[in-house]
């Protein structure tokens, strides 16, 4: 008998989590392993991904998603070892420059696009080929609340995350006939090192205390009056990865503690 708990399992599935060494990626890797998946943890830095992989009994592969050759090698290793890929969590990314558009460093702007957008596309191309061939799979693109709302001084990040929502809807239509689902998550302000670094950079750029920016821009404006925890985003990722969402594709879900 199929039960809700069994639908949420990933037993026998192979899942790739990019940017899996810290934050949301690490939380996703841990949860997916707990529900039975074999998790490939990918990232640019070896030490964090190897630590997570050792903790969960997964596999670590170093890869810079902005480098097409790195991504090709990563997927080649997955195919050689497992012969399939059931879930891709396209999570690798960076915050990009924090500056007014008239002053933004365009080198940093382009670098943000290379990681957040082109890096995601490198992974999507390989995942689409593998999943189309096996006629099954779930792809989860990690967009952001800033993928549906513009935000001052974050033009690069906003542009890449808006683009990921459009790509999600496009690929859902392209890959649906092959049984492959494609959805996007839109996290809000997630507690962790990345958010702490953004706060510090905003404080420097705006000349305001980080605590004041935290309250005014992130926590007080949320209905639940708090940060999102990485584990809460991971649970939403599991919903899209598992058969709990078997009829859902081309969707986007906010995980933002009610910042509407």
Q: Which tokens sit at 40?
A: 């490939």
**7, 239 contact by CB (below 8 A):** no
Query: Comparing C-alpha atoms, which of 90, 251, 253 is closest to residue 182?
Result: 251
Does residue 53 sit in helix, strand or coil?
helix
Quick one: which of 23, 65, 26, 66 has its CA closest to 49?
Answer: 26
Q: Which of 208, 195, 230, 224 is nearest to 94 (CA)?
A: 195
219-250 in b/e form (b: 16+ CB < 10 A) is bebbeeeebbbbebbbebbbbbbbeebeeebb
Tokens of 122: 């490198």
Which candidate in 157, 218, 239, 240 is catalytic? 157
The answer to whether the beta carbons of residues 188 and 236 sit under 8 Å apart is: no
Hey, CA dihedral for 98, 103, 104, 107, is it positive or negative? negative
Question: Please, which residues have CB within 8 angstroms of residue 226's CB and are 6 or more apart in sequence?
Answer: 219, 257
239 assigned to active site: no
Alpha-carbon distance values, 163 to 151, 202, 232 (Å): 15, 24, 24
Question: Which residues are catalytically annotated?
Answer: 157
């Amino acid at each position: 008998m199929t039960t809700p708990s069994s639908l949420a399992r990933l037993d026998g599935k192979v899942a790739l989590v990019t940017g899996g060494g810290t934050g949301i990626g690490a939380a996703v890797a841990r949860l997916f392993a707990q529900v039975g998946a074999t998790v490939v943890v990918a990232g640019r830095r070896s030490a964090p991904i190897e630590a997570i992989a050792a903790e969960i009994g997964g596999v670590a592969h170093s890869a810079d998603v902005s480098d097409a050759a790195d991504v090709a090698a990563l997927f080649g290793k997955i195919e050689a070892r497992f012969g399939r890929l059931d879930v891709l969590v396209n999570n690798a990314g960076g915050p990009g420059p924090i500056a007014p558009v008239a002053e933004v460093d365009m080198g940093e702007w382009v670098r943000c696009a290379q990681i957040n957008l082109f890096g995601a596309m490198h992974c999507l191309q390989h995942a689409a080929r593998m999943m189309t061939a096996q006629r099954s799979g779930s792809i989860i693109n990690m967009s952001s609340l800033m993928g549906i709302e513009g935000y001052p001084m974050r033009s690069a990040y906003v542009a890449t995350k808006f683009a990921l929502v459009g790509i999600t809807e496009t690929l859902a239509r392209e890959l649906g006939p092959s049984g492959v689902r494609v959805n996007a998550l839109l996290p809000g302000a997630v507690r962790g090192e990345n958010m702490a670094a953004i706060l510090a950079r905003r404080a420097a750029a705006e000349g305001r205390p980080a605590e004041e920016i935290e309250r005014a821009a992130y926590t007080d404006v949320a209905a639940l009056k708090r940060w999102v925890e990485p584990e809460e985003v991971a649970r939403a990722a599991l919903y899209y990865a598992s058969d709990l969402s078997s009829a859902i594709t081309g969707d986007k879900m906010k995980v933002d503690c009610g910042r509407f």
